Amino acid sequence: MINPPVSVLLVESDAVDAKRIREVLAGVGRPVFHVESVGLCADALLRLQKGAVDVVLLDLMLPDARGFEVFEQIRQAAPDALILVLSAASDEATARAAVGHGADDYLVMGHVDAHWLPRALDYLLGRKAARDALRRSEARFRAMSDASPLGIFVSDRDGACVYTNPAYQKIVGLDFEHTLGSDWQLAVHPEDRQRALAEWWNAAVGPTPYQSEVRFVLADGQIVWVRLNAAAMTDGAGPLGHVLTVEDITARKAADRVLRMAEEALFAEKERAQVTLNSIGDAVLTTDTAGNVTYLNLVAETMTGWQRDEALGRPLAEVFHIVDGASRETAPNPAQLAMREDRIVGLASDCVLLRRDGIEASIEDSAAPIHNREGRVTGAVIVFHDVSESRAMAAKMAHLAHHDFLTGLPNRALLTERLSQAIGLARRRRKQVALLFLDLDYFKHINDSLGHAIGDQLLQAVAERLVACVRNTDTVCRQGGDEFVILLSEIERIDDAARVADKLLLAFAHPQHIGGHELHVTLSIGISVYPDDGSSADAVLQNADTAMYYAKANGRNNYQFFRTDMNTRAVQRLFVESSLRRALKQGEFLLHYQPQIDLASGVMTGAEALIRWQDPQLGIVLPAQFVPIAEESGLIVPIGRWVLREACRQVRSWQDAGMATVPISVNISAAEFRHKDFISGVAEILAETGLAPRFIELELTESILMHDATSSAQVLAALKKMGMKLAIDDFGTGYSSLSYLKRFPIDTLKIDQSFVRDVATDPDDATIVGAVIEMGRNLKQRVIAEGIETPAQLDFLRAQHCDEGQGYHLGRPLSAEAFGQLLEPG
């Protein structure tokens, strides 16, 4: 490299010296010196103003200025140029002073020769180059330092600050001057200072450079977090001090804290969620949008049989395998639906979860979409729980509500439901529905005599037998007590119902063996058919019930189809019949006694026993309400026996009490009279009570006697033989043949009250009554007029010489107690 010529300004007033110096410099090969020379200080200053002078060779003795003052002026004019002072040997002290004030060197004139001058210049140029390089370097470092975002703090050996950069000043909030001489450690927060110092000393003795994060307290009291890095400075010979970089990490620290707090919060949140999910009773399972499992809680693990680790990432259907409880078909995936429709969906009802090992559980609950912060669906959560128990309980409750406890058959409620359904269906399909109403014959008798336990077992056996007789599409139901109903939900013809009824009757032809007893139970069956016999469930049921009563009335062990003429009165009769049975058994009957009076004397000659029924609900029921029904059902036989026995017992007890009793009339019905055991029964009762037969008069109607006059005559003869009295009741209402009447051993004629009622006003009735009285007299029979209610009636009868009378006007029917008061002591 060729160095550029060195520009030299020679300031020398002595022309000889100037010439010599120029010659010396001209003779130097390298570097090449370009020399300009001036003789006056003023000229030198002018030249230096133009710049581009590398070296000034300066004589301090000039005509226009001298000594140290010259140097001062030149130095100011050319601060960057090298100044070599040329000095006389005599004035070396001044030259030295100039060097002391910044001159680069001096040369005594005697040495200004070809040897010393180039060497001195060479040396000075070398120094200048080094100094320029240093300055540039310094400038570079300063620029870097100024631009650095890191604070830089330079201290000397004693730790006192010798330099800080703007970033440091900014961090600590001081200007440059105020940072100088300070100690960075004093800026450290008191709480961090001890640590900072300890670390500083550790770094000083150890191999690792100092590094720390501490808080600085600024001049204004503000606290900043800084990160410190320090390195020792040496100059080779020994330590010079330290360079400390300071980074403001307040923002990062704050961010760290926020982050840490967020992390802690997140952790706590996650932990809480985890604990919650594992402690709730519900199973929780989540999936991603692809429908793969992303999470299961403990309950979900147990219920699905999948461990979380195994389940993660698997398709939901594999882990959460659900089927429809009824069809057994795979149930629709609720998670997919929840995600697709972005809403909470309930699981299909009757949903069954198949656990991994095949064990099933009824489950219930819902699936919901999971959203991210932007509200997009990122998956689904399914929450479910085992409802096997509650579903079983519900099923059991439903069963109980709809079934009979004893037999397990559907009960009345379920029957009504099914019947309505069947009718609805039949209506649409134009089919028929048959209902069979069954009642066990004489069940009550079995129940009462053998006990409820046997009765219950019998009902169970009956239930089984009934079920065995029908198709399983038919419903056998227990209606209550000993009543059962069979619903034939779809029949083609009415004959189908008859066939079933036949089958049932046949099935019950065999006895049941219950608890060591051989029990013959038969059925009375009423059948009604939709739509012919009723358009509603109620009507069909009601009519089957009515028909059943007819089957009962028809002698039991048979079936009857409903007919419209089977009205409810008939049903009521049957109800009364069953009530009468109870009345008989529970002693609800009693007798009233109505006096019979001798019309001439007014003396009581007898009394008629009249039955009364003391029903627990209805109160006193009169014979007109129940005697006809008792007669139709045959119950009149046992009832009549009771009446006779009671009358005998009562009279006997009055007699035993010392009363003078009168004969008591007892009404006898046709069924009693014709019963083969009638005579023996009467004899038995008389023997039993020990009553003399003459105290009893039996009242019979004309129609009874005329029904089979021959056999009637025989029975009457037998009774007469026993010593009893006989009367014809309600005389005049029947078609008596006088010839027969004469043959019957009758003691008394009772004129029916219908004639007596109008006897005072209706001449026809008066004539009839008169005739009967006359006839009785002829036949030597007592004549009693019934139903005397008024004095006019009484007067008429007296005038006609009627023997006796009976009626409200003479005496109402009285209770046994009241009647007993009328009797005189014997």
Chain contacts with Mg ion (rule: CB under 5 A): 667, 699, 729-730
Provide the 3-class DSSP secondary structure of residue 734. coil
Query: Is 162 within 8 Å of 179 (Cβ atoms)?
Result: no
CB closer to ligand C2E, 385 vs 641: 641
Which of Mg ion, ligand C2E, none has residue 640 at its interface (CB below 5 to 8 Å by kind)?
Answer: ligand C2E
How is 212-226 classified by DSSP, letter by letter?
EEEEEEPTTS-EEEE
Phi/psi for 581 (5° steps) reads: -60, -45
* Contacting residues for 20 by C-beta, under 8 A, at least 6 apart: 112
The C-alpha angle 653, 657, 662, rounded to 5 degrees, equals 65
Which of ligand C2E, Mg ion, none has residue 410 at its interface (CB below 5 to 8 Å by kind)?
Answer: none
CB closer to ligand C2E, 408 vs 628: 628
Distance CA(202)–CA(206), nearest Å, equals: 6
**Interacting residue ranges for ligand C2E, rule: CB under 6 A:** 594, 610-611, 622-624, 627, 640, 643, 667-669, 699, 729-730, 753, 786-789, 806-808, 813
Distance CA(791)–CA(204), nearest Å, equals: 152
Distance CA(522)–CA(314), nearest Å, equals: 66
Phi-psi category of 225—alpha, beta or left, where left has phi over 0 and alpha has psi -120 to 50?
A: beta
Which of Mg ion, ligand C2E, none has residue 787 at its interface (CB below 5 to 8 Å by kind)?
Answer: ligand C2E
Give just the sign of the alpha carbon dihedral 130, 135, 140, 142.
positive
CB of residue 715 to ligand C2E, shortest distance in Å:
15
Structure-token pair, residue 558: 């048979």
Which of Mg ion, ligand C2E, none has residue 489 at its interface (CB below 5 to 8 Å by kind)?
Answer: none
How is 410-431 classified by DSSP, letter by letter?
B-HHHHHHHHHHHHHHHHHHT-
CB closer to ligand C2E, 369 vs 640: 640
CB of residue 630 to ligand C2E, shortest distance in Å:
8
Indicate the DSSP class of residue 66. B
Query: Is 487 within 8 Å of 435 (Cβ atoms)?
Result: yes
CB closer to ligand C2E, 747 vs 789: 789
Phi/psi for 720 (5° steps) reads: -60, -40
Query: Is 767 within 8 Å of 732 (Cβ atoms)?
Result: no
Which of Mg ion, ligand C2E, none has residue 765 at its interface (CB below 5 to 8 Å by kind)?
Answer: none
CB closer to ligand C2E, 258 vs 622: 622
Provide the 3-class DSSP secondary structure of residue 384. strand
Residue (of 301, 302, 334) closest to 316 by Cα position: 334
CB of residue 569 to Mg ion, shortest distance in Å:
24
Which of Mg ion, ligand C2E, none has residue 594 at its interface (CB below 5 to 8 Å by kind)?
Answer: ligand C2E
Query: Is 589 within 8 Å of 609 (Cβ atoms)?
Result: no
Residue (of 483, 437, 442) closest to 578 by Cα position: 442
Residue (of 332, 523, 369, 366) closest to 442 by Cα position: 523
CB closer to Mg ion, 13 vs 733: 733
CB of residue 739 to ligand C2E, shortest distance in Å:
25
Distance CA(173)–CA(799), nearest Å, equals: 153
Which residue do the tokens 């006809």 mark?
A: 628
Distance CA(549)–CA(543), nearest Å, equals: 10
Which of ligand C2E, Mg ion, none has residue 546 at its interface (CB below 5 to 8 Å by kind)?
Answer: none
CB of residue 667 to ligand C2E, shortest distance in Å:
3
Distance CA(396)–CA(389), nearest Å, equals: 10
CB of residue 806 to ligand C2E, shortest distance in Å:
6
CB closer to Mg ion, 145 vs 596: 596
Report the amino acid identity of residue 142: R
CB closer to ligand C2E, 432 vs 594: 594
CB of residue 793 to ligand C2E, shortest distance in Å:
9
User: CA 342 → CA 290, 349, 365, 368, distances in Å?
Assistant: 15, 20, 17, 8
483-491 β-sheet, strand order: 475-480, 483-491, 432-440, 523-530, 558-561
CB closer to Mg ion, 304 vs 669: 669
Query: Is 528 within 8 Å of 534 (Cβ atoms)?
Result: yes
CB of residue 768 to ligand C2E, shortest distance in Å:
17
Strands 619-621 and 558-561: what pairing? unpaired
Query: Is the N-terminal amide bond of 531 cis, ω within 30° of 0?
Result: yes
CB of residue 719 to ligand C2E, shortest distance in Å:
15
Residue (of 691, 696, 675, 687) closest to 609 by Cα position: 696
CB closer to ligand C2E, 241 vs 640: 640
CB of residue 448 to ligand C2E, shortest distance in Å:
25
CB of residue 773 to ligand C2E, shortest distance in Å:
18
CB of residue 554 to Mg ion, shortest distance in Å:
30
CB closer to ligand C2E, 125 vs 670: 670
User: CA 125 → CA 37, 56, 637, distances in Å?
Assistant: 19, 12, 166
CB closer to ligand C2E, 542 vs 753: 753
CB of residue 749 to Mg ion, shortest distance in Å:
11
User: CA 474 → CA 434, 469, 477, 746, distances in Å?
Assistant: 10, 10, 10, 62
Residue (of 445, 661, 429, 433) closest to 533 by Cα position: 433
CB of residue 582 to ligand C2E, shortest distance in Å:
18
CB of residue 528 to ligand C2E, shortest distance in Å:
35
Residue (of 669, 747, 743, 674) closest to 715 by Cα position: 674
CB closer to ligand C2E, 120 vs 604: 604
Which of Mg ion, ligand C2E, none has residue 807 at its interface (CB below 5 to 8 Å by kind)?
Answer: ligand C2E
CB closer to Mg ion, 577 vs 608: 608
Which of ligand C2E, Mg ion, none has residue 610 at its interface (CB below 5 to 8 Å by kind)?
Answer: ligand C2E
CB of residue 790 to ligand C2E, shortest distance in Å:
9
CB of residue 624 to ligand C2E, shortest distance in Å:
6
CB closer to Mg ion, 482 vs 699: 699
Say what angle helices 388-402 and 412-429 make with each other, to 10 degrees.
80
CB closer to ligand C2E, 267 vs 808: 808
Give just the sign of the alpha carbon dihedral 689, 639, 734, 736.
negative
CB closer to ligand C2E, 13 vs 733: 733
The C-alpha angle 320, 326, 332, rounded to 5 degrees, equals 40
